[in-house]
Amino acid sequence: MKSHPRNARIKGDPFLPSRFIFGDAVEEKGLEPYEYVIHTEAPAFVCRLVGMDLTPFAGREQDGFHSSVLYDESHHLTHYVTNSGFRLFDFNFWGDLPTAAQLQKICDEAMQVYQRLQKAYVDREVAPKERDFRLVPTEPLPPAERQSRINELVTMCRESLQNPVRRMQLAASIQQALSGGDQAVFTEAQLQLHDDPAARKLLLEGAHQGIACPEVMRADGSVVSYELWAFPLVLSRAQGGMWWHFPLLEQVEPALAETLSLPPETILWMSPTIFTVETLSERNCQSLVHLAATMDAGCDLALHDVAAARASFEAASKVSEPQLVLAWLPFIVERGRLPLLQVRQHARAALDVTMPLVQQALSAEMVYGEAELFMPLPWWDALAAGTYAYNRKRFAMAMALLGLGQSPEGLHVVAEYLPEQQAYDVQIFNQDQMLLTRTPWLLTPDLNPDRQLAWHDLQSCLQQAGLPVIEVKPRLH
């Protein structure tokens, strides 16, 4: 395109506008207290529209839709009124003037269109437009190709310790290993580096950085840098199963950005897909590498086939299975725009604003009992903080269920590690070796969950409670 010369005649676009156009107008003090209606076809006119009108006319109290065109003799003005509370007035016509019957028919059609428009606004606010899903890829490689990629990654990690050029290439190799459909590539690579702590540390640090601070390349070739944050969430359910996609979480975005005092035009996108301990443990957090790119593309991440997952959830919901669920609500922010100190300063206000919207989003898709939301933190910190709070909450509930008659004296704990659940089974016995209750103690979800860290945390908690503990090593078959 090129600029118009100053004296050029302006060409219009070759399409007709909608027959009825509704809109607001601005005056010196802000928005005018009424809307405007424009009729673009003959007889063309513009008029004002107000609601909650109680002007008396013959059909005001009748059932169904009724309208009338009235004439105000004192002001010499025509008014169109309906028994649904709308009034059109201050008509300005272009061209031939219509008869009262013609004007009433046109205004009746305008009110039908206006009602549909208001319904569309409500539907847009309550139910955001469905977006496309991107399914997390799960495509195991042939054994020979898998082993080849594992060896390549292991070799690159070891060479990166001495070769800066290889270290620059390592980030791309780690990204490829995480984003591929075969999670065994990254997992086996770090296991093979068990005897080389420095190279293994380099591998894990690169993976943590790639997930927490993702770089997204768009179709136009531009690159956007994000940070991954999350709200830890604990909720109770009386039924079995747990759903993971909540479209109304999009409503959190503007409220959260405003409360955290983010600079204008800063990107903050909340993921409608939440992550539970089980979904993170299923692939040891590797699925997270797809999250930022999916959200930047305007899509939602699907952990499993959506139709099959929904059917499984609805079937599980028919079973009574009280549960306390730990989950995280992730969101991405442009890198460097959200300092942690700023989040701490606005944390209480952010929780107050966010919690009602989160409750609305959850209740729209799933029946739950109570929910507790924690302060947003960078992703890996959010995982650690959520697990810390959840473990102590479960342990406190287990102790409370023992009743007031039980005292810590004479009680002891046996903690057995369950590798398949990535948790300790904490069993509380009395002095007669009778099992009183048991509760899980979760490992923090990670690319490489740290059992020793969870064990020391459990020891510290039990020491504060005055309970001795014995660790039972996992039984490997």
Half-sphere exposure (Cβ direction) of 219: Cα atoms closer than 13 Å: 4
pLDDT digits (tens, 9 = 90+) for 272-288: 999 999 999 998 999 99
How far apart CA 365 and CA 93 sit, in angstroms, is 49
Residues 6+ apart with CB under 8 A from 331: 228, 229, 230, 231, 252, 253, 256, 268, 269, 270, 271, 376
Q: Which residues contact 284 (CB under 8 A, 6 or more apart)?
A: 183, 187, 445, 446, 447, 448, 449
Within its chain, how far is the Cα of 90 from the centroid?
A: 46
pLDDT higher than 80, residue 246? yes
Q: Does the pLDDT of residue 129 top 70, yes or no?
A: no
State pLDDT tens for residues 149-205.
999 999 999 999 999 899 889 999 999 999 988 999 999 999 999 999 999 999 999
Assess contact for 17 and 53: CB atoms under 8 A.
no
Which two structure tokens, joined as six digits, stand for 107?
A: 């205004």
Q: How many CA atoms lie within 13 A of 469 on its CB side?
A: 23
Mean pLDDT of 299-313: 93
Contacts of 193 (CB under 8 A, 6+ apart): 154, 157, 158, 199, 200, 203
pLDDT in the model for residue 6 = 78
Q: How confident is the model at residue 407 (pLDDT cuts 50, 70, 90)?
A: low
pLDDT of residue 187: 93
Cβ–Cβ under 8 Å, residues 347 and 271: no
> Which of 259-268, 328-337, 341-350, 394-403 is predicted with the least confidence, judged by mean pLDDT?
394-403
User: What number is the average pLDDT over the span 433-456?
Assistant: 94
Mean pLDDT of the 415-423 span: 92
Mean pLDDT estimate for the chain: 91
From residue 326, give the alpha-carbon distance in Å to each of 1, 9, 251, 379.
55, 65, 22, 15
pLDDT over 60 at 90, yes or no: yes
Average pLDDT over residues 437-451: 94
Q: Mean pLDDT, to the nearest integer, of 121-143? A: 80
Look at strands 469-472 and 412-418 and give their pairing. Answer: parallel
Centre a 10 Å sphere on the Cβ of residue 276 and count the other Cβ atoms it contains. 18
pLDDT higher than 70, residue 477: no
What confidence tier does 356 reach under pLDDT thresholds 50, 70, 90? very high
Q: What is the pLDDT of residue 406?
A: 53
Res. 2: pLDDT tops 80: no
- In this predicted structure, the answer to whether residue 405 has a pLDDT above a threshold of 50 is no
Query: Tokens in use for 142?
Result: 């042939």
pLDDT at 404: 45
Q: What is the pLDDT of residue 126?
A: 63
Can you tell me the distance from the alpha carbon of 87 to that of 83, in angstroms, rounded to the nearest whole number? 9
Q: What confidence score (pLDDT) does residue 127 get?
A: 57
Q: Please check whether residue 387 is in contact with residue 442, taking contact to mean a CB–CB distance below 8 angstroms.
A: yes
H-helix or E-strand spanning residue 418: strand 412-418
What angle, rounded to 10 degrees, do the helices at 164-179 and 184-192 form? 140
Please give the share of the chain, as a percent, with pLDDT higher than 90: 72
